[in-house]
Structure 1
Amino acid sequence: MFETFTHRRIETSEAVINLRHAGNGPPVLLLHGHPQTHVMWHRVAPRLAEHYTVVCADLRGYGDSSKPPTTEDHEPYSKRAMARDQVEVMQALGFERFAVVGHDRGGRCAYRMALDHPERIAALSVLDILPTAEHFRRTDMAFAMGYWHWFFLAQPYPIPERMIASDPDVFYLRRGRSLFDEAALAEYRRCFTDPGTIHAMCEDYRAGATMDMRLDERDQQAGRRIACPVQALWGRQNGLERWYDVLAVWRDWADQVEGHGIDCGHYLAEEAPEETLAALEPFLARALKA
């Protein structure tokens, strides 16, 4: 995987970010979800690199990026902190303005980046998420049962860390191993069996339930909106559209919104790479040309 990509580790003001990049053309940053690494883009990134400069980065706390010490308010694992890292990474690579595509937790970092750094983000594509505040605010029995891990991972240290560490495969691979390429799965397992990574990922969810939630609420109260074009894609088999009108929710956050569901589960870029590319490529072409 990533044979044509260059591997780098870039030191930002707060973390060291692990990444791979390749290609020429307008810059596109790809951000992964939980509990994965940048490797989740292995079926999509090489194709995008035919037309774009593609950067696949590990979020802080994940993969081979550093795991900064946390604080009582969990700010070091907030999406605002993760967004700061990635803006610095792209600047170090020479890109002041770029498109960002984020899946799952990476999508949460991506939309926070669009809110906090609107001058940097030319286009935003979010895969299988809604804004964090929307989920928590609309929580009901169906969401709580389907997304129970949100509430489990956000529990105080060290309860979830110890329970997960007893058998990480049972927790992280509960949706099945067959969804992933064997080489990608080996990379995920290498990382999510590390105690430091387990702790950092729990901190990510603790931040989600506290600081990320508060930041979203403040933005909505202040009337802040995402300025760039937004694409929302989701897996029809994962249930998001059974609970929400996905595009309607995103239109509460941005003026330019498009997107649709794809016939797959949660892991769009790995389960349905061709369909994901078929959606991403024209969106990026329009947004980055503008």
Structure 2
Amino acid sequence: MFDGFQHGRVDLWDVTLCFQHSGRGPAVLLLHGPDRPHTTWHRVAPLLANQFTVVCPDLADPSRGNHETALDCVALMKSLGHDEFSVAGYGPAAHLALHLALTHPTLVERLALVAAEPPATPSPPAPAAAPAAFFPATGAPPAAEPPAATAPSTLVAPAPATPAPAAAPPAYNVSTPAARTTPATLGGSRKRRFFRPVLVVWAAGGGQSDPVAGWRPWCEDVRSVGIDGGRHLAEDAPEELAAALGQFLDHGTSPVS
């Protein structure tokens, strides 16, 4: 597997990443999801290595959330001397790739999302509820009253002796369940869009429809290409997938939907 590639290993702050790398030219990071190993790319990566420097990490630790894993990937690429690079995510790893692009938009040159369903559409935050002290049990706003009619204790609470520590921002609180189950909507990513070019690659066979519309809430400049093949495009149609990725990542063009 990974003919012509070299095996590498890098120790980061709290994890060791093993990876395969080869080629020269613009850097491309190939990501796999928890459902399939990094060898998912073993037939595609050597074809891309003819044009690019290909890095394929083994993201084998399922306990790490998408935010942690994105930071791991950035550290890996920087350790190899790549300050900018393109990213391709396969299957569920497309959500990881999107999160990496949303949180590091100046590092990711181009983004490819392969054989993946789009995440839930981001929704605007709900309006803040009025303080409970101003609403009776009926839920209706109270009638206007003279200030003396309202007990001061319902309006002003005594200040605590020691202020409670501020909660960590949701985007970085990776221990929460939401950080692991909603990768692309994690914290501040909910309000972000990626403005650099994006390619959605989908399996045109089997009655599937083009999912590009579902990615548009997250991506400004998005295009798509359908490839005849089964559910596992990297194994069923590696040449076609490598050709589509190569054309797009080489600052070329792809069919635009």
What's 1:120 paired with? 107
What's 1:275 paired with? 240
- Measured in 2, the distance between the counterparts of 1:258 and 1:33 equals 22
8 Å contact from structure 1 (residues 132, 208) kept in 2: no
What's 2:7 paired with? 7
Residues 41-94 of structure 1: per-residue CA shift (max 9 Å, x gap): 111111111111100111141xxxxx6xx5xxxxxx321111111011000111
Q: 1:233 aligns with which of 161, 176, 201?
A: 201
8 Å contact from structure 2 (residues 8, 18) kept in 1: yes
What's 2:183 paired with? 212
What's 1:25 paired with? 25
- Residue aligned with 1:132, SS: coil
* AA at the equivalent of 1:273: P
- Measured in 2, the distance between the counterparts of 1:38 and 1:264 equals 20
1:36 Cα deviation (Å)? Answer: 2.0
Alpha-carbon distance change, 59 to 134 in structure 1, aligned in 2, over 3 angstroms: farther
1:229 Cα deviation (Å)? Answer: 0.6
Q: 1:262 aligns with which of 227, 232, 252?
A: 227
1:240 Cα deviation (Å)? Answer: 4.9
1:219 Cα deviation (Å)? Answer: 3.1
- Measured in 2, the distance between the counterparts of 1:88 and 1:53 equals 16
What's 2:118 paired with? 131
Alpha-carbon distance change, 282 to 47 in structure 1, aligned in 2, over 3 angstroms: same
Structure 1: 5+ residue stretches without partners: 62-66, 71-76, 136-205
What's 2:140 paired with? none
8 Å contact from structure 2 (residues 199, 222) kept in 1: yes
* AA at the equivalent of 2:249: L
Q: CA RMSD in A?
A: 2.7
Does 2:217 match 1:249?
A: no
Percent identity for Structure 1 against Structure 2:
39
Q: 1:104 aligns with which of 91, 94, 98?
A: 91
* AA at the equivalent of 2:55: V
8 Å contact from structure 2 (residues 27, 86) kept in 1: yes
Which protein has greater RCO, CA pairs closer than 8 Å, 6+ apart? 1
Alpha-carbon distance change, 210 to 287 in structure 1, aligned in 2, over 3 angstroms: same
- Measured in 2, the distance between the counterparts of 1:60 and 1:54 equals 19
- Measured in 1, the distance between the counterparts of 2:13 and 2:117 equals 29
8 Å contact from structure 2 (residues 24, 49) kept in 1: yes
What's 2:156 paired with? none
What's 1:82 paired with? 69
Would you identify which runs of 4 or more consecutive aligned residues in structure 1 move more than 3 Å? 206-211, 237-240
* AA at the equivalent of 2:65: S
- Residue aligned with 1:283, SS: helix
Structure 2: 5+ residue stretches without partners: 123-176
What's 1:284 paired with? 249
- Measured in 2, the distance between the counterparts of 1:270 and 1:228 equals 28
- Measured in 2, the distance between the counterparts of 1:238 and 1:33 equals 22
* AA at the equivalent of 1:122: E
Alpha-carbon distance change, 82 to 209 in structure 1, aligned in 2, over 3 angstroms: closer
Structure number with greater Rg is 2
TM-score, normalised to structure 1, is 0.63
- Residue aligned with 1:255, SS: coil
- Residue aligned with 1:266, SS: coil
